[in-house]
Amino acid sequence: MVRLLMSVLCALVVWSGTVAADTSSSTYLLSPGDKVMISVWQEDTLRQETVVLPDGSITFPLAGRVDVAGLEATAVARKIETALKPYLAQPNVSVVVTSTAGNLVYVQGKVIKPGPVPMAGPTAVLQALSMSGGMDKFADESAIKVIRGQKVMPVRYKDLVSGRDMSTNFQLQAGDTLVVP
């Protein structure tokens, strides 16, 4: 009985650590095209809304060019604070995401509505296909793929729609391209 209780307790500890790790990875990461409002406490002249440029950077007075793509808002605030320290004694920077316009995936090929698909939240392959109006009658279901940078990930569509294997219903990331030949 004691061994069973210890096993259950150990499993709960491992499970709770896994849940904590999963929730921390759900923070929003900036992408090109997003807008952020940056302000410095007690420095009214250092307040501006800016768009993340295609190269993943922003520019901010005194701080200059700051790379922000792939970072969460709090990390961007810390980077700007570091850049402002030569000019301000104790800069306290706030960064608020005001638009997630850069949070797009691209669906191309034989779908009803090809083009950019905005992701309002976590979006998987089947959801992106649905937001694109579904596949047209000439689509090759066996050759669907997700392109992420230089990586190509094949999608097993028949397994997804049958519910047999959901492992290729990838969670899409900003900038991914879903190709339906």
CATH for 104-180 is 3.10.560.10
Q: What is the pTM of this model?
A: 0.70
pLDDT on residue 26: 65
Mean of pLDDT values over 29-56 = 95
First to last CA, the chain: 58
- pLDDT per residue over 112-166, tens digit each? 999 999 998 889 999 999 999 999 999 999 999 999 999 999 999 999 999 999 9
Q: Angle at CA 155, nearest 5°, toward 19 and 70?
A: 50
Per-residue pLDDT, averaged over 98-109, amounts to 94
Alpha carbon distance 55, 47 (integer Å): 22
- Any idea which architecture 35-99 has in CATH? 2-Layer Sandwich (3.30)
Residue 13 pLDDT more than 50? no
pLDDT value at residue 178: 97
Q: Give the confidence band of 5 by pLDDT, cuts at 50, 70, 90.
A: very low
Q: How confident is the model at residue 24 (pLDDT cuts 50, 70, 90)?
A: very low
Mean pLDDT of 37-41: 97
**What token pair was written down for 144?**
């669907």
Residue type, 32: P
Could you list the beta-strand ranges (E) of the chain: 35-40, 43-51, 57-60, 64-67, 93-99, 104-109, 115-118, 145-148, 151-154, 177-180
Q: Is the pLDDT of residue 180 over 50?
A: yes
Q: Which pLDDT belongs to residue 2?
A: 41
pLDDT of amino acid 120 = 85
pLDDT in tens, 14-23: 333 333 333 3
- Over residues 25-45, the mean pLDDT reads 90
Percent of the chain's residues with pLDDT above 90: 81
Delimit the domains of the chain by residue range.
35-99, 104-180
Report the amino acid identity of residue 31. Answer: S
Helix (H) / strand (E) containing 132 = none
Rounded Cα–Cα distance for residues 51 and 143 (Å): 36
pLDDT value of position 10: 39
Position of tokens 């569509």? Answer: 157
